[in-house]
Structures are given as C-alpha cells and as structure tokens.
Amino acid sequence: MGNPIFHDSSPNNESENPCLDDVVKQVLSRRKFLLKSGGSAAAVAFLSSGVARAAQALSPTNLIGFQAISIATDDAIHIAPGYTARSFVPWGTPIFSSGPGSQWRGDGSESAQDQARQVGDNHDGIHFFPLDNSSREGLLVMNHEYSTTVGDGYDQYLTLFGKSPTVAKTVEQVDKAINAWGCSVLHVRRAAGDWALVKDSKYNRRMTSGSAMVMTGPAAGHDLLKTKADPTGTRVLGTINNCGNGYTPWGTYLTCEENWNNNFGTRLSQGDERTPAQKRYGLAKGATGYGWEAFHDRFDYKKEPNESNRFGWIVEIDPYNPESAPKKRTALGRFKHENAAYAISKDKRVVIYMGDDERFDYIYKFVSAGKYREGDRANNMDLLDSGTLYVAQFSAKTAQGEGMGDGQWVELSMSNPKLVAAGFKDLADVLVHARLAADAVGATKMDRPEWITVHPTTQEVYATLTNNSRRKSGQEDAVNPRADNVYGQIVRWREAGGDAAALRFDWDLFVLAGNPALNAKGDLKAGSPNVTADNMFNSPDGLGFDKAGRLWIQTDGNYSNAKAYAGMGNNQMLCADPKTKEIRRFLVGPKECEITGLTFTPDQKTLFINVQHPGERGNSHWPDGGDAIPRSATVVITKDDGGVIGS
C-alpha cells in the first residue's frame, strides 16, 4: 500500500495456475453474471437462506444512517454532515515530554535518535486496545509503513530530511529512515470531549526497523534464517514496510510486513545475481532507492543472503506489556502481507486470513493447532506458532442457486506430495518460500489481494482485490472485463458449514468498482449495478466491519481525475450494507493521500483512521496548512450528537 518504490515480482510468477478471471469465465458461460442490467440482486445472490435471514435480522431497515457526500479534490478532509473529523498524532509527534525527540521542529533537522522517540512516518494499519474496557482510554497501536520518496529512481526522500527532496547520503540519515518506520504504541485518553496523547506513559513505545525482535514457530532457528550477526536464526533487528494489521481476541496486535523487498539490494552486482527465490520475492537487481544497503551490510543480499528471509512475516505485539519483544510468527508464512483477519472455528481453533499484495498472487489462511480459550491469555499467547497454512484455489460451480463459484483451501506442508515433488526440503523451506509453494500447488492467481475482513454475524469473509494493471487482452470477463484492470473489486466467500476451518467455500463478487460517469450503462467498465455516479471509486484497499455489520471501504487509487479516473476525486472512505449492497461515500481525504486503517472504540462512538502520504507528489500541506511539509496523521471521527458512527 502506498509505497512508490516497486520492484515488481509479478513477471517472475509465470506459473500455469488459473487466474480468477479464467474461473469466472467458466461460470459466466452458464450464468451471464452481471450482464443483465438491473439484475444485480439475483445475479450476485450468494447468501444461503439461513445467512440471508441473519442479515435481515441485523438490518430490518437500511443499515447506513448518514448522508453521502460528493467527491473533493482540495487539500482538506471532507466528511458526512453531522460528523467531525480532526487530525491527531501526526508524524513527528513527541511521545515523551523531555529528552531526545521531545520537540517537533518540522524542518527535517530531527536526528535519528529524535525520530526513535517520536510518532513514525506514513501511518497505516491501526487498532484501539481499551484500558479496563474503557471507550475513553486505551492504547492506539499503528503501523508506519515507509518514507515517501520521489525522483526517477525514487531515491530522494521527499520530506524526511527537510522541505527539499534529498538522497540519503549518510548513515545518520539512513538510521533516521530506519527509525521512522515500524510501529507506535500510544496511550490516548478522551477528556472534555477531545482525545489527547498521554505523554510519558509507561505504555508509550516505538518499535522501529532496528528494534530487537524474536523469530518463533516452525522456521525459527532454521539455516535459512541464520546470518553472521545471528547464527541462531532466532533474533532479528526490526520490522519493515508495516502495511495493514490485525488483532487477536486475546489482546495483541498483528503488524504485517508488506513491501520489505524494496529494502534489499546490492552494490556489488556484476549483473543479475539474484536467486530464483529472490527474484520471485522482488528484491532489487542492484541498488535500492532507499539506499540502506550502502550503509548497513545486512540489507545487501550479496553480503547477507539470508537477511531478507527474516522479513515478510506477521509480527505479534503485546501492547499491554511494554517490556515484551515483538514475535515474528513464521507459521503464518512469508510473503507481502497486507493485513490479517481472525475468525474462530467451530472447534475453537484460531483462523487467520491473509492476502499477498502483488499482481497475480494469492489468498492464504492459517488454522492453529491449539484451541482458543476465552479469558485464558496464557494459553492463547502462542497459538500462532503451530498450525497449518493453506492457499486458496477458486473454481466454478455448476449447481444452480448455490452461488457463483466454489473453491478449496490447499495445504502448504510436507504432507502435500506436490511440494515434496517440487523439491521442498522441510516445513521451514515451505514457509520461508510460501509464494513458491503456492505456485507449486496450483493456487489461483488474484488481482492484488489486500485487506480481508470477517462479518461479525454471518462470518462471511470479504477481500479487496485492488487492481491489476498487468491483466492482458483476451482475459476479459465479468469479473475483470478490462484488459487493464484499473478499478479493482471486492470478493467474498462463505466457508462450508459456516466453519472457518473448513477446507471448501462458496464465493461471489460483492462489488466490481468502475466509473459509470465515464462509461455507459451495461459497459462493465462502469462497474457493477451498486456503483453509481454518486459513489464511484477505484482501487478498494482498506476494509473492515463495525459491530453492527457495516462494511467500511477505503481506497488507495488514482486521484488524477484524468482519463479512466475522471470525476473520482481524492481517495476516500465509503460504507456498504452487505445485504442491500448499497454503498455511500462517507469521507474524502486531502490531496495525493491514501485513506487506510480503521478501528473503533468499544462503544463504536469514536472511529480512528489514517491518512497516509498526503502530498506524495509534493502538492499538499495537510494537516498543518500554510507552507508546512505534509504529514501523515491519524484522523479522529466522532458523531456530533454523540452517537454510533455510521448510524
């Protein structure tokens, strides 16, 4: 999400695995899905009668209670009438009242040491952990994905070192970037109707790309994770490119390492000396734009070939214990993790759904070996260290009236003979090279799987497929009718028997994004029937449900308002009713930003979201205004009458 440096690994994924389009083509030959105007309710009917009754009970009237707003293209936050939105804890906010980093100067002169004690850069995934079950005080944990860069090689840090774009020229500058990334744990409290950071709280801390962390699970200690600095293969410095997030019912935060490949390159290359696995994961052939490998050997894969294997994981953080070390849970597999959404199976095992944010990559789920015990935190704290990883395989269904298609979860372990035949040596090899394992078992190639979320009542699972600009002519169908899928879509599925641990599922499309203002009705570039000129959007990305079952959609798309994107405005946040499929625009962000991350207080009366990379092309001064440099920030949203958000 949001990272302009992009060593695309998709050209190296040339497997014969079926694309989702190919699957849908088979279905369309029988069903003509979405090709009949006005027939969306029947055409995308997916819920069984039992689930439909549950949704009806949830929503006897329209679930969405706010007035939709229009697009905007100016440098401000716009929100539905009756709501207030204000910026909060922007990049550089001091989290301690004295010592290094206790002042934000805003001119780029802060040191690496200062940055390690300030809120990080480019906020992304976020979650609110209440203190004593309060909706007025808690721990706000958030990701800081990267630092915005510009230039032909994306090697100039836009604002990290000052108001003028600058290449990192010293180890001090690189260390400042390292400390600007990672995560923040922030103690926040609401008083007199407003939220404030509790400076100097014992809970406040930064975990950066240089902080000590632990490798756990099946791959920990394996030769593939050993380096000169860590011959045990169990200790690693830092977490990188923390994109989306998840959380667990036992009160921990899951931060997801996405575009970590962009930080690994070499200054010693005599050509393309990457291994097939390094190519598949998108490491740079030579120097990187960020330049970390010029000052720290561990980021040069010629000097430390295994260091990159220690990134691309989901990291579990205990926000309530500031002395605890973050744990990289290797049982969940290594790829470009977007986010993590949990469910509990019928027999109480923990299920984690995950997407690999790359064109033509895959959707995964992990099922724990141990069982979740409500209220038994000690039992639950290591449930993510042992279990089974699966990858999704989508297929057509011929039976009428049962949904658009079905699919299965394919096991990624040495119990799968395809992986043995493909030459995988052991489970750690499979997990470290999860992408290659998924290639080998014939997983379905998707259009950049990003955020995944689970409905709080029906347990349906929804996933954003943001876009796929590599889709070739000749693959057009009702799911991806454009040779260049610039708009994206949202797919949903229901596990067999309503059990999250099931190995089969039914699936359909919730929405096909598009531009009905530019394309005629009936042209699938206009989107599915629930997309109108009043709510059109592109590139759905962030995704999450509130307790009432409202689906919140955030976008990270093209904001140029030119050509295919005409009239779409800045990136935005929308709300959808899963039953009626109505979608309304709730919020529009400032210039050149991405809207990402969402979390509610337990009473659902405060919503926290993040605005990432405002002015990524240099055309914003949000949130401070004037001639200030733009800063990523959290946005606190409340309803003016004190009510529930979205009602």
Q: Tens digits of per-residue pLDDT, 293-324?
A: 999 999 999 999 999 999 999 999 999 999 99
Tell me what pLDDT residue 15 has.
59
Q: What is the DSSP letter of 174?
A: H
Tell me what pLDDT residue 28 has.
43
Q: What is the DSSP letter of 514?
A: B
**408-449 pLDDT per residue, tens:** 999 999 999 999 999 999 999 999 999 999 999 999 999 999
Tell me what pLDDT residue 23 has.
53
Tell me what pLDDT residue 37 has.
26
Tell me what pLDDT residue 31 has.
39
Q: How many CB atoms lie within 10 A of CB 81?
A: 9
Tokens of 623: 């949130």
Q: What's the pLDDT band for 161 if we cut at 50, 70, 90?
A: very high
> Mean pLDDT over residues 129-140, rounded?
98
pTM above 0.85, yes or no: yes
Q: Which residue has the tokens 């379905």?
A: 444
**209-233 pLDDT per residue, tens:** 999 999 999 999 999 999 999 999 9
Q: What's the pLDDT band for 269 if we cut at 50, 70, 90?
A: confident
Do residues 69 and 79 lie in contact, with contact meaning Cβ atoms separated by under 8 Å? yes
For residue 574, the SS3 value is strand
Mean pLDDT (the chain, rounded): 90
Tokens of 296: 């720290």
Q: Percent helix, strand and coil across the chain, each rounded to 5?
A: 15, 30, 55
Tell me what pLDDT residue 469 has.
85
> Mean pLDDT over residues 631-646, rounded?
98
User: Does the pLDDT at position 566 exceed 50?
Assistant: yes
Q: How many CB atoms lie within 10 A of CB 149?
A: 26
Tell me what pLDDT residue 14 has.
45
Tell me what pLDDT residue 433 has.
98
Give me the residue spans of the domains in the chain. 10-101+109-160+168-601
Q: How many CB atoms lie within 10 A of CB 322?
A: 14
For residue 498, the SS3 value is helix
Q: Which residue has the tokens 């290594």?
A: 334
User: Does the pLDDT at position 11 exceed 80?
Assistant: no
Which residues does 619 contact at the CB level (< 8 Å), separation at least 6?
Answer: 75, 591, 592
Please report, rounded to a whole number, the percentage of residues in the chain having pLDDT higher than 70.
88
User: Does the pLDDT at position 33 exceed 60?
Assistant: no
**351-390 pLDDT per residue, tens:** 999 999 999 999 999 999 999 999 999 999 999 999 999 9
Tell me what pLDDT residue 484 has.
81
Q: Which amino acid is at 588?
A: V
Tell me what pLDDT residue 482 has.
62
